[in-house]
Amino acid sequence: MFSDMSAQKDGSSLLCRPSEDQGGPVFERMSLAYSPCSERYTVGERSFSRQYAHIYAARLMQMRPLLSERAQQKWGSDVLIRKLCDLQTGEQCCIVGTLFKRMELQPSILKEISEEHNLLPQPARAKLISETDELILEDELQRIKLEGKIDRDICVTGSVIAIYGAEKNDGKFTVEDFCMADLPPQTPRPALSSDRFVLLVSGLGLGSSHADSMLGLQLLVDMVTGQLGDQGEQSGAATISRVLLAGNLLSQSTQDSDAAKKPKYLTKKTQAGSVEAIRLLDELLLQLAASVPVDVMPGQYDPTNYTLPQQPLHRCMFPLSSVYPTLQLVSNPHQSIIDGVRFLGTSGQNVCDIQKYSSMDRHLEILENTLRLRHLAPTAPDTLGCFPFYQKDPFILEECPNVYFSGNAPTFESKLIKGPDGQEVLLVTIPDFSSTQTACLVNLRTLACEPVSFSAFSADDDEESDMNVSH
Amino acid sequence: MTTKHGLITDSFKVVKKAKRRVKREKRPPSPAPHRVTETETVREEELHKLRQFDLDWTFGPCTGISRLQRWERAKLHGLSPLEEIRDLLLQTHTDPEYNLSLWREYPL
């Protein structure tokens, strides 16, 4: 554990005379083998002249063989796998298809236009599920309504599953059981000799109107760069070999559309809020990149494209820090292999979207569910913006990550899960730093994960007047 | 009852026959100007094959992407599309009637 390592010496080096020899000890930071493997998330040609039917077709094409295999494992190799067009009433069989949930509350532009005359403003909802939702399974040609042993509120549109049951006389399919594609195959990670850590942070929220988080953020940077604490803590900091910033580097308030509403002559001389925030970010990255390799993923509020996969932030926005080769501007979702450990994750849009359209609330639960579905973002392109791919769906997981994370969660949570074929995956929800002042450290040797909180005095907690760094 | 039925069908037959005759008269003039040559029939046959490929639902939707892209996607996912189609598409890579799907004229 990181907290044990940094507390190994009991604080003596600060309360003694400076040593005679120049400078004191130097802690060398371990540099790790790193290979980014996010090519699948880069969009070459940006053609939007296609419909989303292709992505669903490609998804089903890719998932059908996997699910047929799972279905045979689960219900015996002689299970009858049918297409919907060959379905016979009353016959027990298995069907592979894409789920679609018809939701009364799902916002629809067509509905808004048609009801314009007498439309009451709808209250903003946290959840868009209701009692009248219907679950429908689609294959290449047809669709059928589902009922029975399948939980409507947990399922989301776009997930490909296999169902087992029979069609009843009323044309609905009674589900007796269903299965998901489950975890993809994993390459075992190498055994490491020593503890090394990767720091995961998300939601820096720069440029927000209240600058509470700035002191916490500076403490974080100082801790990583080894300018905080005594020699024990500094030697601990040297074991942090990489920092990953998972999205929402800028705050939502930098996207204020105030300027767009006002007439131009009033806003001529005002500067967009994001300009100052990016400058701040550049200075922050400069401090980090000078000392440790940094991966920067964009998030929902960052200045890059909105649709997933989000492309890396442009280098020219960071004139100070981009000269360092240690600064890696990467895509969202991002995948990389750090010292043999495969990291995969997003800035959290996929998880937040599923949270809205299902009864699941905990980010960790949703994260595990997407891994079991073998799909990063099942609700894209239905309710989550997504590039219209046609050849293959890049969000389908082909190889199982060792660490699977999502950013901008309300709280820190982590869990080590085991797959059916012995896969071992650490799930981490990285908390939003601006509101929780918490980052997390992943130990590459043991796959243990622990939060690091920075508390400083802020307007909320007056009684806690001294700042402290706790692990 | 029976007599009434007979009357209705009789009248329908008369109407339909009349329409068909009109159509038949209209149709023949249009193909006539095209001189049916050897190359024309080959082209027609090739295009027919490509249209059949478009209409095969197992390879997924065909609008918005070129036929070759659709063929390659089918190949990628192990659906074994006909090699012949690919050869045809590679030979004539400039003609939009070959390259693009049946519904190329429709906006999205």
Q: Which residues of A touch B78 (CB under 8 A)?
A: 65
Bridge partners (DSSP) listed for residue A165:
A93, A175
Cα distance between residue A383 and residue A364, in whole Å: 20
Query: Considering chain A, what percentage of its residues have pLDDT values greater than 70?
Result: 87
Q: In b/e form, how buried is each residue of A197-216, taking b as 16+ CB within 10 angstroms? A: bbbbbbbbbbbbeeebbbbb
| Probe site for chain B from A52, A54, A138, A392 (most B CB atoms < 10 A) | A54
Indicate the residue of A49, A62, A140 with minimum beta-carbon distance to B57.
Answer: A140
Residue B28 lies in a domain: no
What pLDDT digit, counting tens, does each position of A296-331 carry? 999 998 888 888 899 999 999 999 998 999 999 999
Residue B78 lies in a domain: yes
Count: domains in chain B:
1
Residue B90 lies in a domain: yes
Distance of CA A442 to the CA centre of its chain: 16
User: What distance in Å separates residue A61's CA from the closest CA in chain B?
Assistant: 6
pTM given for the model: 0.83
Contact across the interface for B76 and A392, Cβ inside 8 Å: yes
Q: Is the pLDDT of residue B68 over 80?
A: yes
Residue B10 lies in a domain: no
Residue B39 lies in a domain: no
Contact across the interface for A392 and B65, Cβ inside 8 Å: no
In this prediction the ipTM stands at: 0.75
Contact across the interface for A51 and B69, Cβ inside 8 Å: no
User: What is the pairing mode between strands A173-179 and A143-148?
Assistant: parallel
Residue B27 lies in a domain: no
Residue B34 lies in a domain: no
C-beta of residue A203 within 8 angstroms of C-beta of residue A352: no
Contact across the interface for A390 and B79, Cβ inside 8 Å: no
Cα distance between residue B79 and residue B77, in whole Å: 6
Measured in degrees and rounded to the nearest 5, phi and psi for residue A284 equal -65, -45
Query: Considering chain A, what percentage of its residues have pLDDT values greater than 90?
Result: 37
Those residues whose C-beta lies under 8 Å from the C-beta of residue A113, and which sit 6 or more positions away, are none
Q: How many CB pairs under 8 A join A and B?
A: 43
Residue of chain B whose Cα is closest to the Cα of A53? B61
Nearest alpha-carbon partner for A163 in A58, A61, A74, A77: A74
B108 touches chain A (CB under 8 A): yes
Residue B16 lies in a domain: no
C-beta of residue A421 within 8 angstroms of C-beta of residue A183: yes
Mind listing the pLDDT tens digit of every residue in chain A (471 residues)?
Answer: 666 665 555 555 677 776 666 666 778 887 778 888 888 888 878 888 888 989 999 999 999 999 999 999 998 888 888 888 888 888 899 999 999 998 888 887 777 777 666 666 666 778 888 888 889 999 888 999 998 888 888 889 999 999 999 998 888 999 999 999 889 998 888 888 888 899 999 988 888 766 666 888 888 999 888 888 777 788 888 888 899 999 888 888 777 666 667 777 776 767 777 888 888 899 999 999 998 999 999 999 888 888 889 999 999 999 999 899 999 999 999 999 998 899 999 999 999 999 989 888 899 999 999 999 999 999 988 889 899 998 889 999 999 999 999 999 999 999 999 988 888 999 999 999 988 889 999 999 999 999 998 876 554 544 333 344 555
Q: Which structural domain, as residue segments, surrounds residue B97?
A: 45-108
Contact across the interface for A49 and B64, Cβ inside 8 Å: yes
Contact across the interface for B60 and A57, Cβ inside 8 Å: yes
Going from the N-terminus, what domains does chain A have, and what CATH number goes with each? 29-44+185-256+271-470 (3.60.21.50), 53-117+124-179 (2.40.50.430)
Residue A229, both tokens: 């604490």
Contact across the interface for A65 and B78, Cβ inside 8 Å: yes
